[in-house]
Amino acid sequence: MTSIPTVVVAAPSSGSGKTTVSTGLIGALRRAGHRVAPFKVGPDYIDPGYHAVAAGRVGRNLDPNLVGADLIGPLFAAGSLDADIAVVEGVMGLFDGRITADDVADADPIGTGSTAHVAALLNAPVVLVVDAAGHSQSLAALLHGFVGYEPSVRIAGVVLNRVGSPRHEAVLRQACARVGMPVLGVLRRDSRLQVPSRHLGLIPAAERSVEAVEAVDAMSEMVGAALDLDAIVALAESGGVTLSAPWSAADAIADAEEGVRSERPHSARPHSGRPVVAIAAGAAFTFGYAEHAELLRAAGAEVVEFDPLVDRLPERAAGLVVGGGFPEEHADKLAANHELREDIATLNRAGGPIHGECAGLLYLTRELDGHHMTGVIDAVGRFGSSLTLGYRDAVAVTDSVLYRAGERVTGHEFHRSVVELDAGAPAWAWRDHHGASGVHGVATSNVHASYLHVHPAAVPTSIARFVRACKPKET
């Protein structure tokens, strides 16, 4: 069995500086000659974008809620191929995971899908990033509590962030020494380490382009100078993660095809050749899991990315995927691309498979905040005042190009917009955290659109169905 040096970057709470430290650490290690595999715990799409800029390779997610605990090891192994060290950024506070009524009743010390959960699954050491701006000697009590709370999670060192002065640093170091906690680095308060944000968190790296690269360079330089990289590498080596057999898109699709064929036992593949599946990208549509395109290719598709702000639909496109992002920030430019909107309408009229998630749902409506969209579904979208956030255990209620009625998934919702549907069969049903049930999204014979983000590695059968429904167009 092979292993890879690994470190998990966690914090006592959100807003402590995990993304700054993780991204800077990834960039600093790369500058030092390492091949770094970057990961993010949870469903977040934005942080992996910054990781990718720092590492020079795709950032991936590890979320037991979305894919199940059994897939964490294989997905980690797949993302670590050809790397010599892995950095895993946590989510929220170290022990914060999905909260259900059962979790509250059982008082499980490790939240499902939390950073601690993933660290325990990987058996990887944890570095705790503490926002020290409001701490003094009491930091010792906080660290004592975190270290002793759950013995299966090994907190091996601390990074002190937003330290105010040399005197402040000395007091904090003394507090860490009291509980035997190694200090792996100290970051002073510095506005250059702030990444711009808006209503759903950080601005994606793909939107900021040159600014994102400059921000990552600044993080890499300052974090690299402030942290003891040799000590962190030694820590990662001391707790190297034993790699399981890596997840394979080809194997996942091969298994999925078995199930798809069993739905129609005597049917052959409906077409030959590699259909083109167009994936929306660019500044308006930046959210997607790397495994999605890998599964599409494994299922036989030729994947072509395009920017809906300026491009036409790729030539010979037989299917369309529009993932998450911020179309509300670019609604005027999306509306102005009349040729693309007509291309998509034509694809829809021809029965071409179309898959929209969250931002994709908004783009497929008739209009968004008064701007014309594609009109694939009979609905209107608008930016709202309240945030909808959380995991959803959903059941498909309508046969579609992706799912069969009755199939179950766990997905994630994260949006401030609202879509008012005028017609169409629903895609999903679920109960929210208040226990209220409802139906969501739209599903037709060729369209599946909803707010629910689903990790494709958990549902490869849906990808196999989608590609089978794409009819290759002649050159």
Backbone region of residue 373 per phi and psi (left: phi > 0; alpha: psi in -120 to 50; beta: other values): beta
Specify the 3-state DSSP secondary structure of 303: strand
Let me know whether 237 and 327 are in one domain.
no
pTM over 0.75: yes
For 315, counting Cβ atoms within 10 Å of its Cβ (0-12 exposed, 13-18 middle, 19+ buried), the class is exposed
Let me know whether 284 and 166 are in one domain.
no
User: What pLDDT score does 262 carry?
Assistant: 73
Let me know whether 187 and 272 are in one domain.
no
**Average pLDDT, stretch 24-46?**
96
Q: Residue 430 corresponds to which amino acid?
A: W
- Mean pLDDT, the chain, rounded, equals 91
Return the closest-CA partner of residue 50 out of 203, 199, 188.
203
User: What pLDDT score does 434 carry?
Assistant: 74
In degrees, to the nearest 5, what angle opens at C-alpha 254 toward C-alphas 262 and 395? 60
Return the closest-CA partner of residue 121 out of 25, 8, 210.
8
Instruction: Find the CATH number of the domain harbouring 335.
Output: 3.40.50.880
User: Count of CB atoms within 10 A of residue 373's CB?
Assistant: 23
Instruction: Find the CATH number of the domain harbouring 11.
Output: 3.40.50.300
Q: Hey, which residues are catalytic here? A: 358
Burial code (b: 16+ CB inside 10 Å, e: under 16) for 260-292 equals beeeeeeeeeeeeebbbbbbbbbbbbbbbbbbb
Let me know whether 333 and 223 are in one domain.
no
CA 415 and chain centroid, separation: 14
Gap between the Cα atoms of 219 and 217, Å rounded: 5
Contact 256, 464 (CB under 8 A): yes
What is the count of structural domains for the chain? 2
Summarize pLDDT for 127-146 with one digit per residue, the tens.
Answer: 999 999 989 999 999 999 99
Gap between the Cα atoms of 427 and 437, Å rounded: 14
Backbone region of residue 82 per phi and psi (left: phi > 0; alpha: psi in -120 to 50; beta: other values): left
Summarize pLDDT for 306-337 with one digit per residue, the tens.
Answer: 999 999 999 999 999 999 998 988 999 999 99
Identify whether 474 is part of a domain: no
Band (pLDDT 50/70/90 cuts) for residue 386 is confident
Give the lowest-confidence range in 70-74, 263-267, 325-329: 263-267
Identify whether 70 is part of a domain: yes
Report the DSSP pairing between strands 317-322 and 276-280.
parallel
Specify the 3-state DSSP secondary structure of 183: strand
Return the closest-CA partner of residue 121 out of 63, 58, 195, 163.
63
Let me know whether 266 and 281 are in one domain.
yes
Let me know whether 377 and 234 are in one domain.
no
Identify whether 349 is part of a domain: yes
- Which of 223, 242, 261 is the C-terminal boundary of a domain? 242
List the domain range (segments joined by +) for residue 276.
Answer: 249-469
Gap between the Cα atoms of 116 and 317, Å rounded: 43
Let me know whether 150 and 258 are in one domain.
no
Beta bridge partners of 138: none
Q: Residue 198 pLDDT > 50, yes or no?
A: no
Q: pLDDT over 70 for what percent of the chain?
A: 92
Summarize pLDDT for 96-106 with one digit per residue, the tens.
Answer: 999 876 555 55
Return the beta strands (E) in 14-131 as ranges. Answer: 36-41, 60-62, 85-89, 126-131
Let me know whether 195 and 285 are in one domain.
no
User: What pLDDT score does 266 carry?
Assistant: 45
- Which of 197, 224, 242 is the C-terminal boundary of a domain? 242
First to last CA, the chain: 47
Identify whether 475 is part of a domain: no
Identify whether 233 is part of a domain: yes
Let me know whether 216 and 280 are in one domain.
no
Band (pLDDT 50/70/90 cuts) for residue 239 is confident
Specify the 3-state DSSP secondary structure of 382: strand
